[in-house]
Amino acid sequence: MSDDCLFCKMASGALDVGKLHDDDLVFAIKDINPRAPTHLLVIPKEHIVDGRDVRAEHGPTVARMFVVAAALMESLQLAKRGYRIAFNVGEDAGMTVPHLHMHVLGGRRLGAEG
């Protein structure tokens, strides 16, 4: 937990946001600046900075992120047609909140990455 971290505040409940999913390891919200008809963020409750900070011990948390993303997209009936999962890492990738988060985008044909 980092006191000045937006996602840690959401994780602890200090900042009330409409969570689409909430369990012991991760939660999910809608991206406030959606780049696709459906744009979700799946976020670990533990403060992991970014992909460079992921360690073997984070395995269960990272796996849960994928499981939750799949379940949410299934519930939105977007699983069959497909969607994108992306992690930005650091400044060049446009990462704005330095707390690991998975972007889940779908609902239209997506262009190539980059």
Active site residues per annotation: 101
Nearest distance in Å: CB 50, Zn ion: 11
Q: Which stretches within the chain are classed as H helix?
A: 6-12, 59-75
Q: Give 51's contacts (C-beta < 8 A, 6+ positions apart).
A: 87, 89, 100
Q: Which residue's CB is nearer to Zn ion, number 76 or number 87?
A: 87
Nearer CB in complex with Zn ion: 12/75: 12
Report the alpha-carbon angle 14-31-104, nearest 5. Answer: 120
Which residues make up the interface to Zn ion (CB under 5 A)? 2, 5, 7-8, 47, 99
Nearest distance, CB of residue 112 and Zn ion, angstroms: 30
Nearer Cβ to Zn ion (2/75): 2
What 3-state class would DSSP assign to 113? coil
Q: How far is the CB of 11 from Zn ion (least distance, A)?
A: 7
